[in-house]
A and B are shown apart, each in its own frame.
Chain A
Amino acid sequence: MKKATVVLLAMMMLGSCYYSSNETHFVQVEPGPEPQISVSVNLDTLPPITITDSLEVAYEITLDGGDLYQVDFFLDGYYIFKSDSLANSFYINPTYIQQNGEYDLDMKVYYSTNSGTLANKFDAEAFEEVKNWLVTINREEEQ
C-alpha cells in the first residue's frame, strides 16, 4: 500500500510543474494630440426634411491627425447605411419605415484616438462624432 502511495504521489507531481510567468512591464503612455474632425452633410442646408419619394444623403468628412474607422447611419434606431469612406452618398427610401411620421436620422462617425496606447495600436478604441436630424416620412399612397 505504501509503495502504491509513493508511486501515485510521483505521478501527481507530473502535473504540477508546468512553466508559467506573470511579470508585467507597465508603461504610462502620454497621449498624442487629438485628431481634428469636421463633418458636413447636405441635410444641414435643407429646410425641414420631408421624404416623400427618396432623399439623397451626401456627406464629406475632413479628418486631420487620425484615421477614419466607420460611418453609420440610423433611421429610427435602425441601421440603414455603413461606409468607411471620407466622402460618400446614399438614398433614403420612405419604404424603410412602415408608417408616416417624424423620425430621428442619426449619423455616427468613428475615428482613431491617436492616444498611442495599446488599444489605439490595435484600433480597439475610437472617438465618436454624432449628428442627427428630424425627418418626416410622408409616403404617397398608391391610388
Chain B
Amino acid sequence: MNLRTLIALLLLGASLPVLSQQRGFSVTGGISTFEAGELKQYQDMLLEAAPVDVKGFTYFPPHTNIRLRLFQRHREKWKFTAGYSYTSTGAHGNYTDQSGYMDINQYLTSYQLGAAAYYRLFYWNFIEAMGYANLAITYTDNEVNRVVSTNTYYYEENTLQMRAFHPVAEAGVELLYHLNNYSFGLEGGYQYDVGGTFKVRDNTRFNSDPVEPQSDLKSNISGFRLGVKFVLLFKSDIL
C-alpha cells in the first residue's frame, strides 16, 4: 500500500458519520511558518539575474493562516473534523533609483481540504486539551512577478505561475476553555509537506525573457502553526 492510498483511506475513515454529543464549527486564525528552501534559493536567483542591484527584503516569512472546520464529538474523548485552510506568504525584492523601480516578488498561496482526529489529553474545570492529527490535500499556487516601471513611461511586467497538488500531514495540540455554547483557546502544531513539486502553469512575456527555474521546485510548506481558536456549538451537551 503506497502513501497516497493510505492517506485516502484515512481521510475516508475520518469522514464517516458517527454518533455525537456535540456538533459545531470552529475558526482558527494565526501564524504559519514555512521552510520553502528551494523557493528561497529561486528568489535569490531571480535577484541575481536582474541587471540592477535588487535587494531582497522578505523570504517567505511567517504569515497568516486561517482554518475553518466542522466537527463532531464522539463520546467524550474523541472529536473528528473536516475543514478548509488558507495560508499565504511570499518573497519581495526591490530596486529604486531616480529613474524608476523594479520589483521582484513571489506570492505563495496554499488551500487545503482535510480531516482530523482529536483525542482528549486532559480535562479540568472547563479547560480541555486535545491532541490531534490532520491529513489534507493541498493546492499551492506560486506566482512569480517582475515589474519594471520608469519615469519615462516605460512599463514591463512578467508573470510566471506555478502550481502543485500535494498531501500534508499535521500533528499538534488544542487547548480550549468551554462556555455554554462557545469555546475559545489556542491550537498549534507542526505541518509536514509530504512532497509537492511545482509545475509551470502560465508564463506571460511582455518585453523580456522570463526567468524560469532550471528544474521543478519543491513546495515544502512545512512549518509550525499557532493560532487563536473560536468554537461555536450547533448542538451541545454538558461535557
Q: Type the 1/0 row for A101-141, where 1 means its CB is closer than 8 Å to any CB of B.
A: 00000000000000101111110110000000000000000
Question: Chain A residues with Cβ under 8 A from B87's Cβ?
Answer: 17
Evaluate contact between A119 and B101: CB separation under 8 angstroms: no
Whether the pair A19, B63 counts as a contact (CB closer than 8 A) is: yes
**CA gap between A17 and B94 in the complex, in Å:** 22
B101, A14: Cβ atoms under 8 Å?
A: no
Taking CB atoms and an 8 Å cut-off, the chain A residues in 1-27 that contact chain B are: 3, 6-7, 10-11, 13-14, 17-21, 23-27
Nearest A-chain residue to B29, judged by Cβ? A13
**CA distance in complex: A19, B107 (Å):** 7
Chain B proximity of A43: nearest CB distance (Å)? 31
Contact partner, A119, options B53, B94, B99, B107, Cβ 8 Å: B99
Whether A29 contacts B90 by the Cβ 8 Å rule is: no
**B89-115 Cβ-contact flags toward A at 8 Å (1 or 0):** 110101111111110010111000000
The complex places the Cα of A26 from the Cα of B99 at a distance, in Å, of 11
Say yes or no: is B126 at the interface (Cβ < 8 Å to chain A): no
**Cβ–Cβ < 8 Å partners of A117 in chain B:** 97-100
Query: What is the total of A-B residue contacts with beta carbons within 8 Å?
Result: 106
- Using A23-B57, A125-B150 as known contacts, say yes or no to A17 and B86 having CB atoms under 8 A apart: yes
Chain A contributes a number of interface residues (CB within 8 A of B) equal to: 28
CA–CA, A105 and B78, complex, Å: 89
Check B97–A26 contact: CB distance below 8 A.
Answer: yes
- Nearest residue (CB) in B for A20 is B90
The yes or no answer to A28 lying at the interface (CB within 8 A) is yes
Q: Of B29, B92, B150, which is within 8 A of A122 by CB?
A: B150
* Measured CA separation A27–B51 after assembly (Å): 14
Interface status of B27 (Cβ within 8 A of chain A):
yes
Q: A18-B88, A18-B109 known; A23 and B94 CB under 8 Å?
A: yes
Binding site for A on B (CB under 8 A): 25, 27, 29, 51-55, 57-58, 63-64, 66, 68, 86-90, 92, 94-102, 105, 107-109, 148, 150-152, 154, 156, 207, 230, 232, 234
